[in-house]
Structure 1
Amino acid sequence: MTRLKILLLLTAASLALAAPALAQQAPMTEAAAPAEPNAIILGTGGVAASTGPETWFNQYGDTFVRNVTTATLTPVLPKPGTANGAAVIVAPGGGFMFLSMSNEGWEVAQALADQGVAAFVLKYRTRPTLPDLGEFEASVNAMFSGAGARPARPATPGQPGAEFADQIDDATAAFALVRSRASEWGVDPERIGMVGFSAGAMTTMATTLWAPQTRPAFIAPIYGAMTAVEVPADAPPMFVVLAADDPLFANRGFGVVEAWQSAGRPVEFHLYQNGGHGFGLGNPGKTSNGWLDGFLRWLDVNGFLKPQA
């Protein structure tokens, strides 16, 4: 099976990747757009078609954005004197319908910066959704119930990664920007990795597979699809996190981990007893809360937190 066919299958699964905060128990509420004073426009691909302007909303205390047509990158840097030179581009999830900006973006970036790792939150382009919040919420609920149908997206036949062209371009531009300003931001250009959550994990994987110019030093798909892929010979070390009670991917095997292992590429896999899906840094009383500590330890053991000779 080609990489394109594999990732197309993963895309279908990703439409159920909305954070559990959107699982019908609490209503969505409109929110004012945050100031985002440090957000840098990436200038990728012009402005995609959309049925409405970029819209923010809250649910379960978390902040989300949808109808993103202008990709941005927000630096979250360590305090002066604490940076170790490593950097991570953070890609939130949301089924490509929206982005979980607080739970899987800003909070994760700040936690990394607190440990000396420069973090950059990627607000990548999403597919258009209905402008009315009530109608959008109904469409999300229909998606969960299996009644929703995914609108067609243009793709170029035979072009690997065409289904993810916007997200790949946005991630590629993010890597290029961080490398171009590495000295200013205290970043080692050879120690820039990518962490993605849910659909952001898929964006991370698609970028790794089909944008070799990005050359991530390491990747960490967090509760992403587990389907096997064709692993490039120079695939970066990979750190994978999944909860055993994830309702979307916990019972579908661990193909991507096995593929990395079979290809002889470094991989570490943490299957936590509980945590569900969309837990971000973690929820109280769940074993998956410890994943960030494990990730930092893995980075350290593999030399990513140490300056290179």
Structure 2
Amino acid sequence: MLRSALVSFVLSAAAVSIHAQTPPPAVAYPPGGPATSTTAPAPMLLWPNGAPGAQGDADDDKPTLTAFIPAQNPTKAAVVVAPGGGYTHLATEKEGTMFAQWLNAQGVAAFVLKYRLGPKYHHPIEIGDAQRAIRTVRARATEWGIDKGKVGMMGSSAGGHLAASTGVLFDDGLATDDAIDHESSRPDFVILCYPVIRLDAPYMHSGSRKMLLGETPDDALVEKMSLTGLVNSKTPPTFLYTTTDDKTVPVMNSVLWYEALVKAGIPVEMHAFQHGSHGSGLAQADPALREWPNLLLHWLQANGWAAKP
């Protein structure tokens, strides 16, 4: 069934590849190697006067954005990066800071998002934090040398669910006294790494569902936040990276998202590697998986979001 589905997707004129274990060239890092958390810039509060729905004044009540601005950004593109962690913690180092430094090495601005988490916070708090991050980048685009029309969203695992959510749950701006709210929250492109998509059986990630929606969510909310039914002609172009034998988030999450995008006529490229554990990040220690950042770079270059060599 999976094989026939993938063949069908290829015939739909979108890009998909299944990778065997072939060693590729290593991806380029910035000078000095991959970033560590000690080199990251200082985070900024998304809402300096207090976040909507905040339940206190602790660190976990304060969503932030950390800006990584490259010395040169020829295409003026930017990516908001949402680390994964099952909506209960954030893999900020591997799926945030390191991704941001990699994007900087390609001449792309990056912004690592710290969003609020369960079990303290549930939907729609998380999507609200992500939307605010996208709006903030657009509102300060001139300051950071960014084109408002080239702001993407990247996420891994549960962060991938959040990034995919921004691609189907967005608006053109809000009528408030806050100028940041006037900006669109729609990302211009989306990058998903082994994402959670479905929050229902048989392919759900039960931990993400519980942390995002609570113990006993309404069936209609579960279906809505399983996202595939929300895809339409305005959903942004998407790059997908996953592994077929992922034991944590079933590969069918990516396959079903790919299928929904193809049916809606959305440009999409998916790379499903044969083997690989969940949460691989840049995967530089794996001779096969370390190819995926190069594939992402080619996709960014082909679409004008990273400069061609």
Same fold flag (TM > 0.5): yes
- 2:147 equivalent among 185, 188, 192: 188
Who is 2:18 aligned against? none
Report the Cα distance in structure 1 between the residues aligned to 2:191 and 2:251, rounded to whole angstroms.
20
The answer (yes or no) to whether the contact 2:74–2:307 under 8 Å persists in 1 is no
Match of 2:211 in 1: none
Any conservation in 2 of the 1:274–1:286 contact (CA below 8 Å)? Answer: no
TM superposition score normalised by structure 2 = 0.68
Secondary structure in 2 aligned to 1:209? coil
Structure 1 segment 85-234 matched on structure 2, within 5 A: 85-128=76-119, 164-213=123-172, 214-227=185-198, 228-234=228-234
2:52 maps to 45
Deviation digits for residues 236-277 of structure 1, max 9, x if unmatched?
A: 101111012211334536111001001111010000122210
**Corresponding residue for residue 273 of structure 1:** 274
Provide the aligned length of Structure 1 versus Structure 2: 227
- Where relative contact order (Cα < 8 A, 6+ residues apart) is larger, the structure is 2
CA 1:199–1:87 in structure 2 vs 1: closer, same or farther (change >3 Å)? same
- Over residues 113-169 of structure 1, what are the superposed CA-to-partner deviations in whole Å (9 max), with x where a residue is unaligned? 11100000000011247xxxxxxxxxxxxxxxxxxxxxxx7xxxxxxxxx5211111
Seq. identity, % = 37
Q: Is the 8 A contact 2:161 2:197 kept in 1?
A: no
The offset of 1:193, in angstroms, is: 0.3
Contact 2:243 2:251 in 1 (8 A): no
Give the match for residue 300 of structure 2: 299
Q: Which digits, 9 at most, give the CA deviation of each residue in 1:11-42, with x for residues without a partner?
A: xxxxxxxxxxxxxxxxxxxxxx9796521101
CA distance in 2, matches of 1:35, 1:119: 14
- 3-state DSSP class of the match of 1:112? helix
User: 1:5-20 maps to which residues of 2 (within 5 A)?
Assistant: none
Give 1:105 deviation, angstroms: 0.4
Q: Measured at CA, do residues 35 and 45 of structure 1 come closer, stay the same or move farther in structure 2, by a change above 3 Å?
A: farther
- Would you say the 8 A contact 1:76–1:109 is kept in 2? yes
2:77 touches 2:109 (CA, 8 Å); kept in 1?
yes
Query: What is the deviation of 1:285?
Result: 2.6
Instruction: Give me the CA root mean square deviation.
Output: 2.4
Q: Which runs of 4+ in 1 moved over 2 A?
A: 33-38, 46-50, 81-84, 225-230, 248-253, 303-307
1:192 shift after superposition: 0.3
